[in-house]
Chains A and B, each alone.
Chain A
Amino acid sequence: MARRDTRAIGLAALLVLAASAARAGEGYGIGRPATAAEIAGWNIDIDRAGDNLPPGRGSVDRGRVVFAEHCASCHGAKGEGALGDQLVGGQGTLATAKPVRTVGSFWPYATTLFDYIRRAMPQNAPQSLSNDDVYAVAAFILNLNGLLPADAVLDAHALPAVRMPNRDSFVGDPRPDVR
């Protein structure tokens, strides 16, 4: 088995290898290289800056059509929720006795909308929508929440520019917070 090159290994990995002194500087030679094409096919993560958003574009108008066809049966015609989560409304409710957590009232990043719709929705056929239609559905949901005008079109440049109202309301973990 070929000895693996660890010259440029990061600090964290050095710590790992230090904890495993018997094999320091040597890997197991297990696994095979992942090709760029293989990674591109699987890496569907969109971070909060919109990195890795694909080419394509979708309008609020097109999103209305796609939403009615694929989303409304669970989320309601206007995203009011049913079997699926409520997607619209709730702004101003988070500090009340009955908070309504929706895309518009709670989600901190618009880019997550693309990521989640593409990977998990519609629930009966995830990863089936075209990138254009994912942009379009995201645009329609943001429009329903009053966060995009009716004539808006989203793409890899426009989506990360949408500023979500609840973006700055997330805090870290302060626990233990009791006793």
Chain B
Amino acid sequence: MTDDDTGAATRPPSRREFLRASGAMAGGAVAGGLAGRAAAAEPAAPDAANLPPNVPEWMKAPGEPMGNEPYGTPSVYEKGVVRNISKTLKQYISASGRTPLQDLDGIITPNGLFYERHHGGVPTIDPAQHRLMVHGLVERPLIFTMEDIRRFPSQSRIHFIECSGNPVYTRPYGKTASDLVGLVSCAEWTGVPLKTVLAEAGLEDGARWVVAEGADAAALTRSVPIEKCLDDAMLVYSQNGERLRPQQGYPLRLLLPGFEGNMNVKWLRRLKVTTEPAYSREETSKYTDLMPDGTAREFTFHMEAKSIITRPSGGQKLTVRGFHEITGIAWSGHGKIARVEVSVDGGHDWQTAELQEPVLTRALTRFRLPWHWNGEPAMIQSRAVDETGYVQPTLQELLAVRGSNHFYHNNAIWPWRIDAAGEVTNGQA
């Protein structure tokens, strides 16, 4: 739940509110001039006794003792930075919650803010009772314990995972970066290459697909081409250094870098090697893309190149003229981001943004562009180009080919409109 339920008067201010309040005190010079949407709930102004030239109160007495918090949590001033979960869904068993992209820096999503998509709720699995079965067209059908899985040579790699419906093609379009494309997150994953485990079982002739099944109440099933399984697919048990969170498939998840999120089967319990796909519900009636002529694309695995400006972005406000860094994230399921271009004039001119190293394959890539806002209305947007030369399209270009019934794989450019008051809103709305 958000803090809205507890009343603004009693909750600690968010970081942005705090900064804004500080800025008000100091005439805007200190704060950097960017306020979040929640800043409407103004906290009490900071006590001038804590500001220069005075010594702040938190220096005059010892702080919390070590060990006060065995598993650390963010500052009380960051309580507003939580997953973006709609309060009006029909049900929450097969549903999704979004990463607050506009409140994050860098390329790594904190585990507690990683986006969620479940099809049968989040199971509570005792790892001592979890098993992975590998069978089908293999020489040696095998069963692994989690201890077994962790005995294999391990690897750590940084990859994004993105839900295929991020966002849909139809209005209403989201207000914030999270509303729009918050079903993408990025982490360092640790596990064993799938090809290592498949080699342990020994593939037989005719092995063309691997059907993966989760141990959740949906027993979610997706078929993966053998080429992907023998390329960069992994069985992962850790995320950003700690064991997977239950929402991310604890204790074991299939990781298919660059493929649509639902194929990265969570709570993985079974891999069946086959000649044909399973034609499961998820890969026939669910995650297929309807075209204007009534046909539907199936097995649309890759998430194509995409980017979004996260600051300034929808729901934020530029409170001062002058310097503002434009920053955002870009990613491609086909490899590395080669270039990100940013326009601040509605798409007329495009400038090349700086990419933060390391630029990794199938990982979020942070881009930045220095900008001076002159106080006039502006339309800012970014477009990604990946190493295959593919250029992120506009929404209109996508709609012209796919129509608005397509639902999945919308990787459109999303412009943000900045008005003369500095308010940032969705440029497509």
Minimum distance in angstroms from B269 CB to a CB of chain A? 7
A83 to B94, CA, bound (A): 11
Q: Is the CB of A31 within 8 A of B297?
A: no
Within 119-171 of B, Cβ neighbours of A (below 8 Å) are at: 119-120, 133-135, 139-144, 148, 151-152
Within 91-130 of A, Cβ neighbours of B (below 8 Å) are at: 94-95, 97, 99, 101, 103, 106-109, 111-112, 115-116, 119-120, 123, 126-127
A17 cross-chain contacts in B, Cβ below 8 A: 199
Assess whether B173 is interfacial by the CB under 8 Å rule.
Answer: no
Assess whether B177 is interfacial by the CB under 8 Å rule.
Answer: no
Assess whether A30 is interfacial by the CB under 8 Å rule.
Answer: yes
B276 cross-chain contacts in A, Cβ below 8 A: 47-48
* Total count of chain A residues near the partner, CB < 8 A: 60
Q: Is the CB of B290 within 8 A of A178?
A: no
Q: Which of B142, B143, B278, B298 contacts A171 (CB 8 A)?
A: B298
Q: Mark B198-227, 1 if CB is under 8 A from A, else 0.
A: 111111110100010100011111000010
Minimum distance in angstroms from B404 CB to a CB of chain A? 8
Q: Is the CB of A48 within 8 A of B279?
A: yes
Minimum distance in angstroms from B192 CB to a CB of chain A? 9
* Total count of chain B residues near the partner, CB < 8 A: 75
Within 14-67 of A, Cβ neighbours of B (below 8 Å) are at: 15-17, 19-20, 27-28, 30-34, 38-39, 42-45, 47-48
A31 to B143, CA, bound (A): 6
Q: Which of A31, A44, A95, A179 contacts B142 (CB 8 A)?
A: A31
Q: Is the CB of B199 within 8 A of A27?
A: yes
Q: Is the CB of B135 within 8 A of A169?
A: no
A43 to B213, CA, bound (A): 10
Q: Which of A15, A48, A120, A171 contacts B218 (CB 8 A)?
A: A120
Q: Is the CB of A34 within 8 A of B294?
A: no
Indicate whether A45 sits within 8 Å of B278 (C-beta atoms), given known contacts A120-B120, A171-B297, A173-B300.
Answer: yes
Chain B's closest residue to A106 (CB) is B285
Q: Which of A13, A103, A107, A171 has the most chain B CB within a 10 Å cutoff?
A: A13
Question: A10-B203, A12-B226, A119-B221 known; 14 other A-B pairs, CB under 8 Å?
Answer: A4-B202, A8-B204, A10-B204, A15-B230, A27-B200, A30-B144, A33-B143, A47-B279, A97-B404, A115-B221, A115-B281, A120-B120, A176-B390, A177-B401
6 A-B pairs within 8 Å (CB atoms) are namely A4-B200, A43-B270, A45-B221, A109-B279, A115-B281, A178-B402
